[in-house]
Structure 1
Amino acid sequence: MLERGFERFLFASRWLLAPFYAALVLGLLILLVKLGQEIWHFAGHLLELNESQTILGVLTLVDLSFTASLLIIVMFSGYENFVSKFDHTEHKDWPEWMGTIDFTGLKLKLMSSIVAISAIQLLKAFMDMKNYTDRDLAWFVGIHMVFVVSGLLMALTDRTSAGHHET
């Protein structure tokens, strides 16, 4: 009886994660405001920008959209994996990936999104090389490679452990 009550208490404690996912919605709103600022700044100087500056502006918009997408993936997948399942029967436009990403898939999507965001930051730095030292660029490349290698190792570890579970 004591054990069952304790298990119910532990199971109910998963709802303590819900405010974290709500906070990510606030993060999404903050990114939306930042997107508006970037578009306002970008559009206001559009005729003055050279090709490189235009590409940097567009890369900033792509970077913000990747980051926002990452938040959506973490919010929905995390909520479904750790708190509660969504009732998607009333939503005609329910994305196919939702409800199918397990914790391993979430980790890999998260890591691949981080690698993509890092790659965009690296590309932005290379497009604006005159404003960075060689040391700065080396750090950007090094940090990006750490993300790439970490992602590959995580995927390899998950693949290896999945292979052991199947046998």
Structure 2
Amino acid sequence: MERLIEGLLYRARWLLAPIYLGLSLAVVALGVKFFMELYHLLVESPFISEASMILIVLSLIDIAMVGGLIVMVMMSGYENFVSQLDVEEDGDKPNWLGKLDTSSLKAKIAASIVAISSIHLLKKFMGLEKIEHYDLMWYVIIHLTFVVSAFAMGFLDRLKK
């Protein structure tokens, strides 16, 4: 009985595979949104202010960072929890692939969240006339929470080593 349960649990890891595959569809959706924003930037650039242009570019950077984060989670999660990726060693393989354990993946996710939050906060600061000071205060508090959490996770990770 124990062997049957352990075998089922071991094979159940494959239930995660469709989830990681679904994340690739999220990257496709982000790609669509990225090119919609890029089109908007190129078409409207002669008619919009510099601040608006910077906000659109920050949105493009934000989308690219989220896409990179999704790819990192998708591929590292698959390798850590489902099965090793068998890809050719032809130089096209990302250098981090196969090297991110759950601890380093967690640290990279935390750092990415801080970077994404920084861009979001910068966008809020640049559009200052459109946001209440009270709301801006909460954005800063939430961002600082991300920063402190990422720092604490890194610090605790170093203590474990």
User: Would you call these one fold, judging by a TM-score over 0.5?
Assistant: yes
Please state if 1:51 is matched with 2:54.
Answer: no
**Corresponding residue pairs, total:** 161
Structure 2 counterpart of 1:151, one-letter code: A
Q: 2:29 aligns to what?
A: 30
Bigger drift between 133-142 and 58-67 goes to: 133-142
* Aligned-pair CA distance for 1:92: 3.5
Q: Please give the secondary structure, in 1, of the residue aligned with 2:6.
A: helix
Give the corresponding residue for 2:62. Answer: 63
Map 1:134-145 to 2 at 5 A.
Answer: 134-145=133-144
5+ residue gaps, structure 2: none
Q: Distance in 2 between matches of 1:37 and 1:9?
A: 45
Q: Deviations over 1:90-123 (max 9, x none)?
A: 5431111101000000101111111000000000
The match for 2:100 is 101
Shift in Å, 1:18:
0.7
1:165 match? none
- For each residue in 1:70-92, what CA deviation from the matched residue of structure 2 results, as whole angstroms up to 9, or x when unmatched? 00000000000000001123543
Q: Partners of 2:13 and 2:90 in 1: how far apart?
A: 25
CA distance in 1, matches of 2:16, 2:97: 18
Distance in 1 (alpha carbons) for counterparts of 2:88 and 2:35: 33
**Distance in 2 of aligned mates of 1:22 and 1:88:** 16
Structure 1: how far apart are the matches of 2:145 and 2:85? Answer: 35
How far residue 5 of structure 1 moved from its aligned partner, in angstroms, is: 2.5
Paired with 1:33 and 1:96, the residues of 2 have a C-alpha distance of 27
In structure 1, what is the Cα distance between the partners aligned to 2:30 and 2:90?
25
Whether 1:11 aligns to 2:13 is: no
Runs (5+) with no aligned partner, structure 1? 163-167
Counterpart CA distance in 1 for 2:114 and 2:124 is 15
Q: Distance between the aligned counterparts of 1:69 and 1:95, measured in 2?
A: 12
Alignment partners' CA distance in 1, 2:109 and 2:83? 20
Q: Deviations over 1:43-80 (max 9, x none)?
A: 12110122111111110100000000000000000000
Residue 127 (1) aligns with residue 126 (2): yes
Give the TM-score of the pair, scaled to structure 1. Answer: 0.92
SS in 1 for 2:29: helix
Secondary structure at the counterpart of residue 48 of structure 1? coil
Q: Over aligned residues, Cα RMSD in angstroms?
A: 1.1
Deviations 1:13-56 (A, max 9, x none): 00010111011011111101111211121112110122111111
Q: Distance in 2 between matches of 1:16 and 1:138?
A: 41
Instruction: Give the TM-score of the pair, scaled to structure 2.
Output: 0.96
| CA distance, structure 1, for counterparts of residue 94 and residue 22 of structure 2 | 22
